Amino acid sequence: MDNQSCVKIINEWDIVSARQLGRNVAKELGFGTVDQARITTAISELARNIFLYAGQGQICIEKLYENGKTGLRLLSIDSGPGIKDLRQVMEDGYSTSGGLGAGLPGVKRLMDDFQIDSSPGEGTDIRAIKWLR
Amino acid sequence: MDFRQKLESKYREILTNYLADRSEQALYQGQKLSRNAIERNIPPEEIVSIHRNIMAEMFPEKFNDKMQESFDILLEVMVAYGFAYREHQNLKHIQQELRTEMEIAANVQKTLLGTEVPCKKGMDIGAISVPAKHMNGDYFNFVEDENNSVSIAIADVIGKGLPAALCMSMIKYAMDSLPENRKTPTLVLENLNRVVEQNVDLTMFITMFYGTYHIDDHIFSYASAGHEPGLFYHAETQTFSELPAKGLLLGIEKNTKYRKYEKEVMPGDMIILMSDGVTESRTKEGFIEREELLALIEKNIHLKAQNIVQNVYKELEKLQDFQLRDDFTLIILRRNVLS
């Protein structure tokens, strides 16, 4: 698909590349500076989770055009250990006690739509959308 | 105009005023605006962005590219603060929910563990029990029976709060289930010891005192499972002594046997039972001394038993700056002088 680009996350510098990619696409789609900063913060959090807990995976950015709306979809896919208790990682305050899934509820709040799938041993798949207003 | 537009125009007005006269008035307006914005859940990055846009509009030349770009960093930093701020807001909400839930649980517990202080001719009884947090890990219960006696149980789970309270509900249930003929102090403790030993994990211990006052011959028989020692007030000599009692805590050893003690009660004598929340009342100087507690009781000794326990609690509460460190239970049984 030519409206999707991805960055492999292996080391910390890849987080910067993922942010750069996200920012370029967000700018291109016409997002304002505040939303650009929110999107890149969400990317940072997800990429950092891959880097810290999954070992490796990738961040993909997709342009979305649906029912006359324009949006940016953020995908975070890894084949790490996965998350056993999704309800727990989606709980505020859990990230501060250490462990998997740092800041996921925060990422959800920064974006307009958020979905997560994970199976222990197989990895985690997160999709989040920000719509242009 | 939606709230964001209103916020922006108000911000512009305040900023313009301030740049014109640098007045405290404008700064105060700024503070008021922030309160408004916080109420509407406007995150900090939004304010930074408004500031930058207005500056760029008002000073297209002076607010040059470099100045503008510097705001990218500030914006990025503020997004992170906004991130934490939203989490904080949500946690506050969750905390409120938990508090409500605890209050409901505390009410359920009150109903569940509720006991009436009996009114017996010839006796004067007072009792108070106050939890340090919402839920009470102390427990007391009165039982009157047909042999003209009053039994009293007082128990304390080591620990406080919810886990202790859950444990107490079990003790209450186990005690209610005991058959009438098994309610002598030693049998009660031996039965409950087995219940606790089987049902409670090893880290939780319960101390308990169980006594029966026989009104006909004024003998108080009792047994203790490692509970805070009771006190005895001799009216004739106006002195206090400890109610001797030895026994292992509940839940440690399955086949523990408890020893029965007896004490004759003369007119005006008092039996004083308590949880360790009383003796471990702590002031800046450390635990209160036993003498201080006795002095407090003595000071109120001319009052009804209920007023004594209430006054002692009030004084100790004050001594501790109104912060209880442990659940507090104090019970007084007095044989009336004219009986």
Query: What residue ranges do the domains of chain A occupy?
Result: 4-131
CA A16, chain centre distance (Å): 13
Point out the residue among B75, B83, B87 whose CB comes nearest to the CB of A34: B75
Distance from CA of B13 to the nearest CA of A (A): 22
Which segment of A42-46, B239-243, B257-261, B323-327 scores lowest on mean pLDDT?
Answer: B323-327
Per-residue pLDDT of B197-221, as tens digits, reads 888 777 778 999 999 999 999 999 9
Q: Are the Cβ atoms of A106 and B45 closer than 8 angstroms?
A: no
The DSSP string of B164-217 is HHHHHHHHHHHHHTS-GGG-SHHHHHHHHHHHHHHHS-TT--EEEEEEEEETTT
Q: Is the pLDDT of residue B275 over 80?
A: yes
% of chain B beyond a pLDDT of 70: 98
pLDDT at B314: 92
Q: Are the Cβ atoms of A105 and B87 closer than 8 angstroms?
A: yes
Q: Is the pLDDT of residue B80 over 50?
A: yes
| Chain A residues in contact with B45 (beta carbon < 8 A) | 34, 37-38
Q: In order of start, what are the domains of chain B with their CATH numbers?
A: 3-93 (1.10.1240.30), 115-335 (3.60.40.10)
Which segment of A121-125, B7-11, B54-58, B323-327 scores lowest on mean pLDDT?
Answer: B323-327
Per-residue pLDDT of B115-129, as tens digits, reads 888 888 889 999 999
| Chain A residues in contact with B52 (beta carbon < 8 A) | 33
Query: Which residues, in sequence order, are bridge partners of residue B223?
Result: B210
- Per-residue pLDDT, averaged over B44-67, amounts to 93
Per-residue pLDDT of chain A (133 residues; tens, 9 = 90+): 568 999 999 999 999 999 999 999 999 999 999 999 999 999 999 999 999 888 889 999 999 999 999 999 999 999 999 988 888 888 887 754 444 445 899 899 999 999 999 999 999 999 999 999 8
Q: Are the Cβ atoms of A40 and B86 closer than 8 angstroms?
A: no
| Chain B residues in contact with A109 (beta carbon < 8 A) | 83, 86
pLDDT: which is higher, B114 or B17 = B17
Q: Are the Cβ atoms of B79 and A37 closer than 8 angstroms?
A: yes
Point out the residue among A34, A41, A93 whose CB comes nearest to the CB of B83: A41
Q: Which of B79, B97, B98 to mutate to test the interface with A (most CBs of A within 10 A)?
A: B79
Tokens of B45: 């990055």
Per-residue pLDDT of B300-332, as tens digits, reads 999 999 999 999 999 888 888 787 878 899 999
Contacts of range A120-123, beta carbons closer than 8 Å, 24 or more positions apart: A120/A81, A120/A82, A120/A83, A120/A84, A121/A81, A121/A82, A122/A79, A122/A82, A123/A54, A123/A57, A123/A77, A123/A78, A123/A79, A123/A80, A123/A81, A123/A82
CATH of domain A4-131: 3.30.565.10
pLDDT at B203: 75
Point out the residue among B46, B76, B87 whose CB comes nearest to the CB of A106: B87
Tokens of A27: 């700018």
Q: Which residue of B has its CA nearest to A19?
A: B76
Which of A75, A78, A57, A70 is closest to A4 using CA atoms?
Answer: A75
pLDDT at A99: 42
pLDDT at B160: 66
pLDDT: which is higher, B188 or B109 = B188
- Per-residue pLDDT, averaged over B72-84, amounts to 91
Q: Is the pLDDT of residue B85 over 60?
A: yes
pLDDT: which is higher, B13 or B283 = B13
Q: Are the Cβ atoms of B49 and A93 closer than 8 angstroms?
A: no
Any idea what DSSP says for residue A54?
A: I
- Per-residue pLDDT, averaged over B160-167, amounts to 78
Residue B148 Rama label (left phi>0; alpha psi -120 to 50; beta): left
pLDDT at A58: 96
pLDDT at A45: 92
pLDDT: which is higher, B226 or A100 = B226
ipTM, 2 dp: 0.82
Query: Strand, helix or coil at A131?
Result: strand
pLDDT: which is higher, B97 or B323 = B97
Distance from CA of B79 to the nearest CA of A (A): 6
Round the average pLDDT of chain B to a whole number and report it.
89
